[in-house]
Structure 1
Amino acid sequence: MKGIYSDQTSFYLFPEEPDLGDLVTVRLRIPKYLGKSVGNVIFAPEKNAKRYQHKSMTLYKESEYYYYFESNFNMPDRILRYHFEINLLDKNKSIIYDAMGVLQNRSIVDFTLIAGFKTPEWAHGTVYYQIFVDRFYNADKTNDPVNNEYHYDGQVVVKKDWGTLPHPKNGHREFYGGDLKGVLEKLDYLENLGVETIYFNPIFVSPSPHKYDTQDYEHIDPHFGVIVEDTEDLTKKYKVRTTSQVNLNKSDELFQKLVEDCHKRNIKVVIDGVFNHCGSFHKWIDEMNLYGNGALYNESSPYRRFFYWNSKNEYEGWWGYRTLPKLNYGNINLWKYIANISKKWVSEPFSVDGWRLDVADDLGKSFETNTSFWRFFYKVTKKANPDSIIFSEIYKSPLPWLERQCWDSIMNYITCMDPISYFLTGMEKHNDYLKPELLKNSDYFVNAVKWGLSQLPMNSKFIALNQLSNHDHSRWMTRTTQKVGRLGPNTHEEAIEGRDLDVFKMGLVMMFTLPGSPGLYYGDEIGLPGWTDPDNRRPYPWGRETEEGLEILQFTRELIKVYKNSTSLRRGSFDFIDWQKGYLAYASWNKEESIVTIVNREEKVVEVEIPLWLLDKKKGEIEILFSTKEVDIKNKYYNEGRKNLKIPEKTAVIIKVN
């Protein structure tokens, strides 16, 4: 039953971010082909969540194909949930419409309104570029880790040549020497690519290249920053480099300059916060006795209460990893310390623009602890920098956390990475298994995306980070091979053999046209391959890009330009308008423009009739803004709300409807 529509963009909901007590107006679109109809909004405040109130809607306006109804109410509580009931008077039938669409064979999924929940305007649809610093660009050889500089996790660390590739078993002890000066020197490149926000993997002091095992939250790692004080004595070298106050201050100053230079180019900076655990080198544990008062060797240490201990005097490791001591959020002093760390980095002189929170739903030992702490963290951070963003890594519905205002949004696995990967390749995001039944399964894709979007209030939808690759999962290019495996049993070369460039490009188009903020992981723009960690962290091959890689780079630049020139892709209404098997058509629109994205994953040409009447368009012309292959539209005109097109095999095309 196509055509019924509502969402939480400014036409269908205003104000979009209401405060308690505000008069809220909601609208509903009902197609005229359904006959004489009446709409009702059904809503429930948080305090009476099971007692829905009904309120009739009045006709706001009508158009060629639709009636638009509206109603209003005062925001009665901190959280309000609502859906719609449509009475088809000519058919003596009623229809329920909720956040996933027309209700059929499932329970109701309400729209959610959260009083006072404001999100940063700059973050709505911003173009991200994720940088894993050690593997991006080495501009300062003096701060490189050296062979045998220290032992980590039972073995010595290794400095590798830039042109070599990660070892399957030694990724957390291998360094390539990438640094923040390298990012500074590549800002022209990033600006030319179209990047609007840099998201850094962790950059605080840490013994690993990935730095998810924090040693010191208060300073930038001198191996990424500046090393002034040093020694040739390998028994002291690491301690001198990472604890020298001169090195730490100089490194912090370099990061401050980097943020300032980014801001001059109107590029935002988001950093990674790893707060569910620290690292075993951290001064609170101090496995290497770098600081002298750690809890591992001193039972009277004030930091002992920051961890969980068993009867053998062993601390609990996150997921059993000894290098990752689990933090105990039963301690209010830890709460204050971590929140003040956030405040420090979003405030002057550093002024970063926000945080990505690592595995944030895994922080405490209970949901109550998690949400209580993150609410505290959120309030401290927003008070220090109201325009900062906080988004979380989570692999399930974030709605319970968002309703409590713990975060602004999420890494959008549930709406972007997972559904796209399955629809285009059938591959799980680590390349760990293939699900052939999900390949070219548009029904599954549509339902998965609708559910994912239903779990995000509208202001969270626009700032959710859409990615196809990142530091935790296989590279998108490697998933297009449709091979199951990881580095070790498989070789580096197998990560690219059999890759499907058409599918790769289709995935990028989908990532940029689904609701959210599109995010490239460094090297995605040249089609860098890689199995999951550690192979997904290959050094960027500056000056050694393949001809194909440079062609993908130009493709990506052009795609970003199209995206940035579109107001509806960045922030607009969204709905699926047609789909069958391996073919999809979905639309993004607002008052200024209407965009249709068509995806044909089939291995053959498909002939389709695009129902443009679903965009309230009767006649006019279409314009191809971008396509992965040449599409012959015969003529640009359409009539009676429909347009027939032939879409080549394995093609994605973005069309503007005028």
Structure 2
Amino acid sequence: MNRANIKLLSLVAITIMFVACNPTIKTDTATDIPEWSQQAVWYQIFPERFSNGDDGNNPTAENIKAPDGWEIHDWTSDWYERTEWEINAADNFYWTVRKRRYGGDLQGVINKLDYLKDLGITAIYFNPIFDARTEHKYDASFYHHIDRFFGSDPSGDEAIFAKETHNDPTTWEWTSADKLFLELIEEAHKRGIHIVIDGVFNHTGPEFWAFADIVKNQEKSEYKDWYDIISFDNPETPDVNEFDFKGWAGYKGLPEFKEKDGNIVEPARKHIFDITRRWMDPNGDGDPSDGIDGWRLDVAFDVGHGFWHEWTDLVRSINSKAYITAEIWEREQAMEYINEDECDAVMNYPFLRAVHEFLIRQSISAETFDSALRVVRDAYPKEVNLAMMNLMGSHDTERLASMIVNDTNKFKAGTKLGERRNLDYSVEAPTKANIEVQKLVALFQYTYIGSPMVYYGDESGVWGADDPDDRKPMIWPEFEYDDETNHPFGKEVKASKVAFNSHLHAWYKKIAAIRNSNKSLQLGDYKTLYTNNKEKIFVFERRYEDEIAIVGFNRSNEAVEVTIETAEANKVFKEVLQGLEYKIVDGKITFNIRPVSGIVLVN
């Protein structure tokens, strides 16, 4: 979700300098983390913008309450070019962009599963897919149904909604969208790809069926105790509506469930438990193989531990190999939620910040970079570190490519152009030199301890500022795209070519194959071998049983020769990026690293 106003304060305050003053705290217990999550190569999909596989199910103007003249947006159009309906509706690009729909759906994902398999992806994390009005779907209207416009028969799905008793699971049916999602799970599993979905259990949208009943019936609603209601409307004052409630972060578009003693109140909790069973074991036969493989928990820190304890027990009882990760941005807070009773891991934003400072901004030394990473590693057992989602961008950040283009900016500083009106931020495409840096960052993601996560399109050349500019339509090789020649605030920009970057795609495919074929890079212990501040060199080792990988990075603009002392004897290492061989001689191994490049040696 978009929560930069709240998070930016903490992100700015907690800089890389915490290394020098914060003690590390090791958790005492590790969860029984599924090994598949530790070996995963993650791919995050924002469904509305990934692929349109069915033109017959596109959202309607009526459903999204669109302005006059609204129509589905052209997938290949210039992102900042405003159509006639947008121009007529508002003066500002950012006032209308959230009403855009491009028609991405589940059939589109199914059609591209072979593309993901070929890319080396072994796990998909979906942004919310439950029925909702917005493009981001964090405002659910149902938990027990997939979004009607992600399926094949939106009107038929609506007919099913209308005849159900939503708080009675025995009346629930499977809509076309529900069935298509189950087909997607089956097809993904055939390809060895696991499926994790977003669990948004702190709040719903105002059109969620239980909240809508409260709006209609006020104190007479049987669901009045589900939400944190401040006051009901007084029927004796028809000119004033006193109805008020708590919304997430004060936003009334996301009404919050009521909590008591650190737990979501029982009626709402029961419903969440019911839908958890529905998606984890759809046919209810006790075999979870037809269901999802785990959950990513939205704003997990805004829900009490009591709820997560009970919910996690339920998840483990359904599927002992299910993976639970969470959106928690800070290490100290994450340590409260990663344990055997709650989360397996989190989205590793401290990793992102450290990599951003060293490989992108070049604002810290190799030694400080090493210290920053060590603080995060030392907070958790090895099993947790292996399962951390090592991302370099998401739906809540600017794109990796744009981070590199704007490499003097601090992470999350001035990246939300719609809020900051940052005219200094470059919206132009990355250069060839920028792409080389992206390749270096990706190599670090794929070889460092933890599981790499790719935000859809990073591998194909998508760039963009923070939300909503990080949610452009996916770039596919079969399409021809308009050049980007516009700026959100009318500033003159040079034309940016939009096209599938086959060179970058081949790189992501190559490093995924390297990771997927070497247990040392998936499950191996981690050890820093060498840092050189002046020459910007960073070298580490991953070791699993007898398998060893030595990985080196050169962030400087000059080739550097590196010599590493080792206790290993008579071993030959193959450099898997270029196919060269290196031998240990007199207890040392020497290799060259090209400028802004890396090297991966495996024995």
Residue 199 of structure 2 is matched in structure 1 by 273
Offset, 1:137: 0.8
Partner of 1:414: 350
Aligned with 2:247 (options 317, 321, 325)? 317
Whole-angstrom distance in 1 between the partners of 2:319 and 2:29? 21
Which of 520, 523, 526 is the matching residue for 2:454?
Answer: 520
Residue 427 (structure 2) aligned to one of 494, 499, 524? 494
Quote the Cα distance in structure 2 between the aligned partners of 1:393 and 1:148.
33
Contact 1:525–1:552 (CA under 8 A) maintained in structure 2: yes
**428, 436, 444: which one aligns with 2:368:** 444
Residues 256-267 of structure 1 mapped to structure 2, 5 A cutoff: 256-267=182-193
| Structure 2 Cα separation of the partners of residues 156 and 302 of structure 1 | 39
Q: 2:295 aligned with 1:355, yes or no?
A: yes
Secondary structure at 1:260's aligned position in 2? helix
Partner of 2:72: 159
- Partner in structure 2 of residue 645 of structure 1: 591
Query: CA 1:457 to 1:336, structure 2 compared with 1: closer, same or farther past 3 Å?
Result: farther
The alignment status of 1:589 with 2:543, answered yes or no, reads yes
Corresponding letter in the other structure for 1:653: I
Specify whether residues 296 and 446 from structure 1 end up closer, same or farther in structure 2 by C-alpha distance, changes over 3 A only.
farther
Q: Residue in 2 aligned with 1:561?
A: 513
- Out of 359, 366, 375, the position equivalent to 1:424 is 359
Q: Provide Cα deviations, 1:539-567, integer angstroms capped at 9, x if missing partner.
A: 11222476771111111111111110100
3-state DSSP of counterpart to 1:576: strand
Letter aligned with residue 251 of structure 2: Y
Larger relative contact order (CA 8 Å, sep ≥ 6): 2
| Matching residue of 2:33 | 119
CA deviations 1:461-494 (Å, max 9, x no partner) are: 1111111121111111111112554445459972
Amino acid corresponding to residue 420 of structure 1 in structure 2: V
Give the secondary structure class of the aligned counterpart of 1:494.
coil
Q: Which residue of 1 aligns with 2:9?
A: none
Structure 1 alignment gaps of length 5 or more? 1-103, 231-237, 287-292, 364-369, 427-435
Contact 1:131 1:521 in 2 (8 A): yes
1:29 paired residue number: none
Q: Which moved more, 1:209-218 or 1:171-180?
A: 171-180
Inter-CA distance 228–539: structure 2 relative to 1 (3 Å threshold):
closer
Q: Does 1:136 align with 2:50?
A: yes
SS at match of 1:579: strand
RMSD of Structure 2 on Structure 1 (CA): 2.7
In structure 2, the partner of 1:216 is: 142
Task: Point out where structure 2 has 5 or more consecutive residues left out of the alignment.
Answer: 1-18, 81-92, 165-171, 232-241, 284-289, 410-414, 481-497
Partner Cα separation in structure 2 for residue 192 and residue 305 of structure 1: 49
Go from structure 1 to structure 2 and tell me whether the alpha carbon gap of 1:527 and 1:247 turns closer, same or farther (over 3 Å shift). farther
Higher strand share: 1
Counterpart residue number, 1:329: 259
Change (3 A) 1:606 1:359: same
Asked whether the equivalents of residues 38 and 386 of structure 2 are also in contact (C-alpha less than 8 Å), the reply is yes
Q: Could you say what secondary structure the match of 1:643 adopts? A: strand
Contact 1:158 1:173 in 2 (8 A): no
CA shift, 1:528, in A, is: 1.2
The equivalent of 1:299 in structure 2 is 219
Q: What secondary structure, in the 3-state scheme, does the structure 1 residue paired with 2:51 have?
A: coil
Relative to structure 1, is the Cα distance of residues 538 and 150 closer, same or farther in structure 2, using a 3 angstrom cutoff?
A: closer
Three-state SS of the structure 2 residue aligned to 1:305 is coil
Deviation by residue 1:232-276 (Cα, 9 ceiling, x = unmatched): xxxxxx966975779962211111111111112221111111111
In 1, Cα distance between equivalents of 2:471 and 2:135: 10
Distance in 2 of aligned mates of 1:250 and 1:458 = 42
Equivalent position to 1:621, from 553, 559, 572: 572
Calculate the TM-score normalised by the size of structure 1: 0.73
Contact 2:44 2:127 in 1 (8 A): yes
Partner of residue 466 from structure 2, selected from 513, 529, 532:
532
Listed one character per residue, the Cα deviations across residues 212-244 of structure 1 (whole Å, up to 9, x for unaligned) are 1111000011101122636xxxxxxx9669757
CA contact 2:25–2:379 (8 Å) conserved in 1: no
Report what 1:184 is aligned to: 110
2:430–2:463 contact (8 Å) kept in structure 1: no
**CA 1:619–1:142 in 2, change beyond 3 Å: closer, same or farther?**
same
Partner of 1:37 in structure 2? none
Could you tell me whether the CA contact under 8 Å between 2:562 and 2:591 is conserved in 1? yes
Match of 2:121 among 195, 205, 222: 195
- What TM-score results when the alignment is normalised by the length of structure 2? 0.79
Shift of 1:348: 3.0
Separation in 1, partners of 2:468, 2:542: 37
CA distance in 1, matches of 2:366, 2:65: 50
Note if contact 1:202-1:212 (Cα within 8 Å) is conserved in structure 2: yes
CA distance in 2, matches of 1:403, 1:118: 9
The answer to whether the Cα contact below 8 Å between 2:72 and 2:100 also exists between their aligned partners in 1 is: yes
- Decide whether aligned partners of structure 1 residues 135 and 405 sit closer, same or farther in structure 2, where only a CA change above 3 A counts: same
Which structure dedicates a bigger proportion of its chain to helix?
2
Compared with structure 1, are the counterparts of its residues 242 and 131 closer, same or farther at alpha carbon in structure 2 (3 Å cutoff)?
farther
Which position in structure 2 is the counterpart of 1:11?
none
Which residue of the partner structure matches residue 175 of structure 1? 101
SS in 2 for 1:306: coil
Distance (Å, rounded) in 2 between the aligned partners of 1:155 and 1:452: 51
Tell me which residue corresponds to 1:92.
none
One-letter identity of the residue aligned with 2:575: I
- Amino acid across the alignment from 1:212: Y
Pick closer, same or farther for the CA change 1:298–1:244 going to 2, 3 Å: same
Contact 1:227–1:241 (8 Å) recurs in 2: no
Equivalent pair of 2:358/2:369 in contact (CA under 8 Å): yes
Q: Counterpart of 2:470 in 1: which secondary structure?
A: helix
> What SS does the corresponding residue of 1:168 show, helix, strand or coil?
helix
Residue deviations 1:148-204 (CA, integer Å, cap 9, x gap): 44427x999752111132653434322110100111111111111111111111110
